[in-house]
Amino acid sequence: MAKAVKLADIAEQLGVSTVTVSKALSGQKGVSEAMREKIKQLADELGYKQPSAVKKEKSAKSYNIGVLVSEKYLGEYASFYWRMYQSVATRAVQKECFTMLEVVSLEDEAEANLPKIVLERKVDGLIVIGRLKTAYLGALRQNTQIPIVYLDFYDEHQMSDAVISNSYYGTYMLTNYLIEHGHEKIAYVGTLLFTASITDRYFGYRKSMLEHGIEVPQEWIISDRDMECGVVEVDIHPDQMKDMPTAFVCNSDLTASMVINQLEEQGYRVPEDFSVVGFDNYLFPGLCDVEITTYEVDIREMANKAIHVLLKKVSGERYKQGITIVEGRLVEKASVQQVVK
């Protein structure tokens, strides 16, 4: 990176004091016109910029960033995306940018009504947290030229810039972890096709089961939410299954907490009777009395990547296009127990 030119550099080359250079460049008296012109000419040649000009250029790179989140992701306990938004806002401030959050109502999402911050041209770029309906995303792309980055999901129907956690490998690791603890009858809890991440997590689970030669009956694939409104609600009765599982891989910690609570209501214990793992390493306090083994999503790094890509797009700079995958880590807690054979 080129070294910034200082007043002393100009003064040294012309054999004058820095005070003389400062007066000449700021238009003050006490400098002959001939010397003033020499100083200005050399300053231009060396690429010197006055502090006020540098400050002006710096402030010109401050952008307004819009953040969209669907109403369906902000239920009473689904505060994971609030935390993700906070990380985005924090990173934006560090980059001297501002964020404007708009929650997309279920009605606006269904009717593909564009957000107000877009219609009123209040933002220079958009970060969409959590998947919205395909028609809504299509309306955003078709009716605005604003740069967009998807966070925590990607659009499988359209090439897009997105930042996601490693859902596939995360549940692959979790399922392997359960198998290493002696479990073979493992169910998956998550509504397939509701989001790409839930489906990717399912395939990570299936990869592990396939590699270990374990068949997966349909009754082990359990839905956890309404396809339309996204309300999370599980209905698990192990004693009614033909082949009762000994463990559950859940697509989120929220779902895992509901599974544990239902099992306990039916008289079972976790992890003594069933082992349960989740995803995210985030749960609203007080929802579960068992600490859940999980795959931690690196929210801060995901937010950093999303801001980085969006600012590159807004400023017209070159950047790596496509999907960015941010790795997480398996966090062992108290919801898994070794199977004694």
Among 66, 62, 22, residue whose Cα is nearest residue 40: 22
Examine the domain organization and report whether 134 and 172 are in the same domain.
no
Percentages helix, strand, coil for the chain (3-state, rounded to 5) are 45, 15, 40
Cβ contact 183:339 at 8 Å: yes
Q: Which domain holds residue 96?
A: 64-165+298-327
CATH number of the structural domain spanning residue 274? 3.40.50.2300
Examine the domain organization and report whether 132 and 279 are in the same domain.
no
Annotate 324-339 with DSSP letters as a single string. EEE--EEE--SS--PP
Cβ contact 142:160 at 8 Å: no
In-domain check, residue 100: yes
Examine the domain organization and report whether 153 and 136 are in the same domain.
yes
pLDDT reading at 56 higher than 60: no
CATH number of the structural domain spanning residue 32? 1.10.260
Tell me how far apart the alpha carbons of residues 22 and 14 are, in angstroms, rounded to a whole number: 13
In-domain check, residue 339: no
pLDDT, mean of residues 45-51 = 76
Examine the domain organization and report whether 133 and 194 are in the same domain.
no
pLDDT reading at 102 higher than 50: yes
pLDDT reading at 246 higher than 60: yes
Examine the domain organization and report whether 120 and 265 are in the same domain.
no
Examine the domain organization and report whether 236 and 266 are in the same domain.
yes
Segment among 52-61, 100-109, 279-288 with least mean pLDDT:
52-61
| Residue 48 confidence class, pLDDT cut points 50, 70, 90 | confident
Segment among 22-31, 54-63, 209-218, 309-318 with least mean pLDDT:
54-63
Give 149's contacts (C-beta < 8 A, 6+ positions apart).
125, 126, 127, 128, 161, 162, 163, 306, 309, 310, 313
Percentage with pLDDT > 90 across the chain: 65
Q: What is the pTM of this model?
A: 0.76
Examine the domain organization and report whether 217 and 242 are in the same domain.
yes
Tell me how far apart the alpha carbons of residues 223 and 149 are, in angstroms, rounded to a whole number: 29
Give 218's contacts (C-beta < 8 A, 6+ positions apart).
none
Examine the domain organization and report whether 264 and 179 are in the same domain.
yes
| Residue 87 confidence class, pLDDT cut points 50, 70, 90 | very high
In-domain check, residue 322: yes
Among 127, 117, 70, 89, residue whose Cα is nearest residue 313: 127
In-domain check, residue 336: no
Examine the domain organization and report whether 270 and 285 are in the same domain.
yes
What phi and psi, each to the nearest 5 degrees, are found at residue 171? -75, -25
Examine the domain organization and report whether 231 and 274 are in the same domain.
yes
Examine the domain organization and report whether 30 and 77 are in the same domain.
no
In-domain check, residue 341: no
pLDDT at res. 110:
93
In-domain check, residue 48: yes
| Residue 46 confidence class, pLDDT cut points 50, 70, 90 | confident
pLDDT at res. 1:
41
Examine the domain organization and report whether 262 and 308 are in the same domain.
no
Segment among 24-28, 159-163, 193-197, 216-220 with least mean pLDDT:
24-28
Tally of CA atoms within 13 A in the half-sphere of 148 that contains its CB: 21
pLDDT at res. 186:
98
pLDDT at res. 60:
46
Residue 213 is given by DSSP the state: T
Number of domains in the chain: 3
